[in-house]
């Protein structure tokens, strides 16, 4: 009898130590799962939306930097370059040329924050009118680039696509003088570079 009683007491003691979650613990877990589903899951399910916003932000920020650089470099021409390196990678660069007639290609002066590739399989279109008539318009495909030239006043003066970066003669010349703002557009919104070199996170005014 005493051995049966001891074994029953041990079983009851071990059962009491294996208790489940309390109601408070279950509620806390449900709340945490709710927060994760509201914040984290949409980020993973809409990666392209965040990549698109990141590219747009990088373009607008680098265009402002290009204008400031042009204003600071009074004796040089400054170029802003947007390059679609591959289907899902982009790069923004700043280049400078102290003499546009010496046959030497512009020098890359991109700061470290512009040296990282920007991920995203994004359809980005552009459109700008030329003074000589016609326009520079299209959508950047893999391997394409778009170059904007600033003058010493920080104005956007020339735009060209398909520039060979190792050839000074391939960069925008008087044939690519612009007469309108440069309109960009992705799948969600438009943004603009005006003739005076200012950027707008909206369609051109």
27 domain residue, yes or no: no
Burial of 144 (0-12, 13-18, 19+ CB in 10 A): middle
77 domain residue, yes or no: yes
139 domain residue, yes or no: yes
12 domain residue, yes or no: no
22 domain residue, yes or no: no
Question: Domain tally for the chain?
Answer: 1
- Determine the structural domain holding residue 101 and report its residue range: 47-200
133 domain residue, yes or no: yes
- The rounded radius of gyration (Å) of the Cα atoms in the chain is 29
Residues 6+ apart with CB under 8 A from 138: 125, 126, 161
**pLDDT for 75-97, tens place per residue?**
789 999 999 999 999 999 999 99
Q: Tell me, what CATH number does 59's domain have? A: 3.55.40
0.85 surpassed by pTM: no
**pLDDT for 7-64, tens place per residue?**
545 555 555 455 666 777 777 777 777 766 656 555 555 777 888 888 999 999 999 9
């Amino acid at each position: 009898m005493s051995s049966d009683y001891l074994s029953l007491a041990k079983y009851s003691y071990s059962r009491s130590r294996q208790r489940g979650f309390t109601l408070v613990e279950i509620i806390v877990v449900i709340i945490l799962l709710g927060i994760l589903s509201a914040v984290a899951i949409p980020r993973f399910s809409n990666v392209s939306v965040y990549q698109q916003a990141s590219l747009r932000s990088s373009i607008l920020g680098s265009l402002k930097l290009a204008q400031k650089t042009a204003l600071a470099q009074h004796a040089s021409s400054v170029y802003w370059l947007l390059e679609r390196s591959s289907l899902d990678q982009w790069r923004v660069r700043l280049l400078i040329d102290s003499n546009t007639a010496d046959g030497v290609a512009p020098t890359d002066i991109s700061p470290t924050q512009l040296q990282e590739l920007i991920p995203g399989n994004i359809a980005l279109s552009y459109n700008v009118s030329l003074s000589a008539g016609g326009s520079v318009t299209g959508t950047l495909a893999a391997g394409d680039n778009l170059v904007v030239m600033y003058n010493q006043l920080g104005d956007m003066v020339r735009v060209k696509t398909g520039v060979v970066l190792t050839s000074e003669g391939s960069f925008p010349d008087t044939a690519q003088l612009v007469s309108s703002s440069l309109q960009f557009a992705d799948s969600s919104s438009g943004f603009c570079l005006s003739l005076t070199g200012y950027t707008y996170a909206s369609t051109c005014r």
